């Protein structure tokens, strides 16, 4: 299975990085040790988020239970409340209920129903915010998190910020359909929203055991056609599944039932996605950084060996020359910081100009559409009139705004990548200059290994789904109209006037919030990126300086110390050769994935 292959490669890389960290500790290279530990942690803590979406009674809870191979989540006859449940790996089962007042409570499995179902917690009267479950399933190993949502629309109606924090980091959505009915209008509307923010969606048609093969194919083809028309995407694939058969097959170790459920086939597809589209990129990035730190250690050992063989007087002169050159080169690092800050400011100016154009271009059109809709539907009853205006806002304003956010995200990411690439290249050039300067003094060959620090998925920009703007006080309007104190024509005129008056201010307020969201992510990306680049430069500089200082100390100590150091360096060199074989073997195996 592809997922198992990814896990093996990941474990092999962690072993190699641990050996490299041991070498750095032996050589007392603290910067390289810390840097290797940092990229190891990045690999260990890598999280893969799978959010499960679907309308009520699509079998989501049974589906998740089938993945885990246990009846962990309750499968209710009545709808669940708007409670998000996050499942992750743990050595033992642990269910924690988090409340809106900040409290939390550990509960046994049989009490979970009292917090996440409408029967046990009607209207969420217990003020549950989220449920976190850890469980020792191999499916949840290596950072896989499954996020269960109660049903279509529920994640948009909950205004608790914590509910939405993980949504932009979702790697894939599992969108469950069923065979009867195959897909509803509510699901299509919901899917259009999700598609804008979740890059990869797997469509799963559950409950196939209810139909024979011909009816199943007809149902799946119908859903496929409807989804492709709605999304304008001709590449939709729907995977058949019987979560009920899959769960029974796992619980009873019935391979025939498991095969008929089609779950093993979907497991393979999901594993390939994890490995090829997410895992492989992460593994290659960490591997390249590991090679860079290994090359630094290799160079430092070579340099130390040369320095040990150099007479004390010549060594002192060479170290002085290197320190002088080091000071000059490190000034470039400070210059980089100022230039980079200027590029980030330019990026924010770019965003502001586009936002101004968006307001100037779209505002008149939106106001005109609202005016036209309001004037041409005066015949409607007041309640229907208000609902129509609300839908017009949703479709005409929010969708337009969302489309702009998606385009802007792509453009900002592209600009950020260009900036990151330029400054990553500059950092690599500074590192190379450091090595060349010392290599020239001691006649040591330099192996060029660079690593790219492009923006990562953890810092990609996004629009917060759960905080959708209210462009006018529709609840207030409904409350006002419910008193029926005014004639229909006057009430409708006031509603339309209120909308047209408040819309520009609401647009401006939402633009400000989106700008703040973008700015925060740009700044966070900048700080992390700059720290990573400077850490690499400092690690190289310190490694070279320590090698030269160590050689000088041994030379001054006497012949026996020099002999002992030479022996140690030969042993360290042997470890470097072993590590190089391991890293390059891993690189070849990743290239073949």
Q: Where are the domains of the chain?
A: 47-261, 338-539
Q: Are 286 and 550 in contact (CB under 8 A)?
A: no
Q: Are 147 and 104 in contact (CB under 8 A)?
A: no
| Strand 144-148 with 84-89, pairing | antiparallel
Calculate ∠ Cα 213-218-220, nearest 5°: 95
First to last CA, the chain: 12
Q: Are 449 and 584 in contact (CB under 8 A)?
A: no
How many residues make up the chain in this entry? Answer: 593
What token pair was written down for 413? 């990411």
pLDDT at position 468, please?
38
What DSSP assignment string belongs to 155-167?
Answer: HHH---HHHHHTG
CA 488 to chain CA centroid, Å, is: 50
* Contact partners, residue 474, CB within 8 Å, separation at least 6: 386, 390
Strand order in the sheet with 48-54: 104-107, 94-99, 128-135, 84-89, 144-148, 48-54, 172-177, 201-205, 238-240
**Cis-peptide, bond into residue 181, ω within 30° of zero:** yes
pLDDT at position 473, please?
41
pLDDT at position 48, please?
75
pLDDT at position 394, please?
64
Q: What radius of gyration, in Å, describes the C-alpha atoms of the chain?
A: 30
Q: Are 51 and 201 in contact (CB under 8 A)?
A: no
pLDDT at position 462, please?
32
**From first to last of its 593 residues, what are the pLDDT tens digits of the chain?**
555 677 788 889 999 999 999 999 998 888 889 889 988 987 887 777 788 877 766 778 888 999 888 999 887 655 555 678 889 989 899 999 999 888 999 999 999 989 888 788 887 789 888 899 999 987 787 778 888 876 554 443 443 333 344 455 566 788 888 776 667 776 777 777 667 556 688 999 888 888 788 888 888 888 888 888 887 766 788 999 998 999 999 999 999 999 999 999 988 888 777 666 667 777 887 888 888 889 888 888 888 888 888 888 888 888 888 888 888 887 887 787 778 788 888 888 888 888 888 888 888 888 888 888 888 888 888 778 777 877 777 666 666 666 677 677 777 777 877 887 788 788 888 888 888 888 888 877 756 555 544 433 333 333 233 333 333 344 444 444 443 455 677 777 877 777 777 777 777 777 777 777 777 777 777 777 777 777 778 877 887 888 888 888 877 877 888 888 889 989 999 999 999 999 999 988 887 76
Nearest to 39 by CA among 280, 274, 283, 281: 283
Dist. CA 392–CA 386, nearest whole Å: 10
What token pair was written down for 475? 């609840």
Q: Are 468 and 167 in contact (CB under 8 A)?
A: no
E strands, 120-180, in order = 128-135, 144-148, 172-177
CA 454 to chain CA centroid, Å, is: 14
Furthest-apart CA atoms within the chain: distance in Å? 106
Give 47-261's CATH code, choosing from 3.30.360.10, 3.20.20.150, 3.90.1200.10, 3.40.50.300. Answer: 3.40.50.300
pLDDT at position 540, please?
79
Dist. CA 585–CA 571, nearest whole Å: 22
C-alpha distance from residue 573 to each of 23, 334, 550, 585 (Å):
10, 34, 16, 18
Dist. CA 374–CA 388, nearest whole Å: 9
Dist. CA 54–CA 254, nearest whole Å: 28
pLDDT at position 362, please?
80
pLDDT at position 345, please?
85
Nearest to 46 by CA among 132, 141, 149: 141
Dist. CA 262–CA 576, nearest whole Å: 47
């Amino acid at each position: 299975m592809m997922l198992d292959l990814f896990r093996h490669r990941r474990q092999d890389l962690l072993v190699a990085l641990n050996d490299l960290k041991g070498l750095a500790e032996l050589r007392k290279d603290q910067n390289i040790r810390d840097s290797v530990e940092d990229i190891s942690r990045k690999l260990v803590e890598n999280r893969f988020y799978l959010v499960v979406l679907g309308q009520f009674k699509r079998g989501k809870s049974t589906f998740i239970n089938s993945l885990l191979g246990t009846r962990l989540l309750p499968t209710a006859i009545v709808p669940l409340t708007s409670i998000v449940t996050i499942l992750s790996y743990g050595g033992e089962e642990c269910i924690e209920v988090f409340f809106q007042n900040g409290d939390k409570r550990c509960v046994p499995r049989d009490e979970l129903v009292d917090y996440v179902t409408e029967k046990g917690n009607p209207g969420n009267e217990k003020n549950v915010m989220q449920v976190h479950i850890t469980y020792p399933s191999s499916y949840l190993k290596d950072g896989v998190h499954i996020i269960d949502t109660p049903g279509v629309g529920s994640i948009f109606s909950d205004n608790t910020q914590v509910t939405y924090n993980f949504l932009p980091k979702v790697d894939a959505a599992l969108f469950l359909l069923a065979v009867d009915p195959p897909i509803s209008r509510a699901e299509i509307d919901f899917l259009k929203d999700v598609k804008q923010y979740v890059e990869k969606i797997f469509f799963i048609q559950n409950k196939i055991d209810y139909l024979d093969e011909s009816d199943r194919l007809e149902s799946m083809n119908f859903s496929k056609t409807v989804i492709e028309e709605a999304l304008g995407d001709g590449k939709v694939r729907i995977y058949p599944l019987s979560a009920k058969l899959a769960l029974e097959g796992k619980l009873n170790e019935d391979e025939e039932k498991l095969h008929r459920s089609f779950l093993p086939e979907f497991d393979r597809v999901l594993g390939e996605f994890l490995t090829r589209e997410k895992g492989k990129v992460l593994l290659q990035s960490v591997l390249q950084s590991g090679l860079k730190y290994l090359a630094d250690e290799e160079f430092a050992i070579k340099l130390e060996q040369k320095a040990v063989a150099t007479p004390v007087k010549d060594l002192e002169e060479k170290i002085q020359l290197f320190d002088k050159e080091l000071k000059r080169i490190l000034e470039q690092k400070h210059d980089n910081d100022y230039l980079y800050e200027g590029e980030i400011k330019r990026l924010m100016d770019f965003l502001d100009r586009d936002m101004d154009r968006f307001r100037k271009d779209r505002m008149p059109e939106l106001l005109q559409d609202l005016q036209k809709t309001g004037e041409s539907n005066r015949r409607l009853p007041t309640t229907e009139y208000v609902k129509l205006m609300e839908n017009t806002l949703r479709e005409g304003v929010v969708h337009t705004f969302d489309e702009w956010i998606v385009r802007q995200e792509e453009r900002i990411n592209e600009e950020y990548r260009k900036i990151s690439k330029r400054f990553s290249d500059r950092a690599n050039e500074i590192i190379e200059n450091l090595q060349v300067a010392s290599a020239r003094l001691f006649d040591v060959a330099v192996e060029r290994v660079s690593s790219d620090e492009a923006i990562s998925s953890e810092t990609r920009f996004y629009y917060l789904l759960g905080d959708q703007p209210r462009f006018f006080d529709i609840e207030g309007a409904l409350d006002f109209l419910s008193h029926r104190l005014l004639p229909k024509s006057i009430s409708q005129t006031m509603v339309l006037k209120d909308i047209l008056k408040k819309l520009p201010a609401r647009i401006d307020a939402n633009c400000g919030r989106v700008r703040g969201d973008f700015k925060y992510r740009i700044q966070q990306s900048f700080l992390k990126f700059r720290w990573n680049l400077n850490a690499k430069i400092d690690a190289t500089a310190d490694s070279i300086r320590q090698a030269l200082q160590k050689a000088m100390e041994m030379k001054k100590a006497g012949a026996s110390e020099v002999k002992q150091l030479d022996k140690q360096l030969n042993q360290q060199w042997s470890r470097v050769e072993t590590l190089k074989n391991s890293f390059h073997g891993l690189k070849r195996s990743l290239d073949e994935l």
